[in-house]
Amino acid sequence: MGTLLERGDLQRYRDYLILLARLQCDPRWQHRMDPSDLAQQTLLKAHENFAQFRGASEAELLAWLRRILTNHLVDAVRKFQREGQDAQRIQAAVESTSLRLEGLLQSKGPSPSEQLLHEERLLELASALQQLPDDQRQALEWHYLKEESVKDIAEWMSRSPASVSGLLRRGLKQLRDELKMGSDAL
């Protein structure tokens, strides 16, 4: 990415934003509120307002993008639910999901180069999740990022717990393979 963040680099955050949006969208609204559309709206708004971005690091850019996404989520939820949603609750949910996603990578060092590598891996993880079959991706996201039990996931997916466990095993294996291939290509 270099030392200077540029407006043209925003597209590389698409999969990350889709993942965060998908994890916040109530399944009842998925047919009316597409996570991909929310991510695209976020990137468009960021592109239009890039001159207002005052940060200097990728971490600050990710935080700025999460705020824009949160605003879009709040607006979308208000359209679907008359009493509206508390913007702070949605912001907390987006931040919490982001922290769990980052926790999967378990970055240890605070040095700038280690932080940059961590942020790169975060984007790779979001992209690799996007490559998984929908049922595996959904099971992994619900279990590891929404912290739902296998039993609850099985119920929501109309599957047996053993089937969901299989999805989790296969999904983790494929996710590891995707991430390994991504790091080998560098």
Domains of the chain: total: 2
Judge if 104 and 170 occupy the same domain: no
Q: Please enumerate in sequence order all residues whose Cβ is within 8 A of that of 46, keeping only pairs 6 or more positions apart, or say none.
A: 10, 53, 64, 65, 68
pLDDT along the chain (186 residues), means of 10: 57 90 72 84 92 85 90 78 56 67 56 65 85 92 88 92 95 89 62
- Tens-place pLDDT, residues 100-145: 666 655 544 456 566 666 677 778 888 888 899 999 999 998 898 8
pLDDT number for residue 185: 53
- Residue at 126 is within a domain: no
CA distance 136 to 129: 9
pLDDT number for residue 4: 44
pTM metric for this prediction: 0.65
CA distance 105 to 144: 12
Q: Which two tokens stand for residue 172?
A: 């983790």
- Residue at 115 is within a domain: no
pLDDT number for residue 73: 83
Closest CA to 74 of 101, 92, 57, 48: 92
Query: Which amino acid, residue 113?
Result: S
Domain span holding position 184: 132-186
- Residue at 150 is within a domain: yes
Query: Which amino acid, residue 35?
Result: P
CA distance 127 to 182: 10
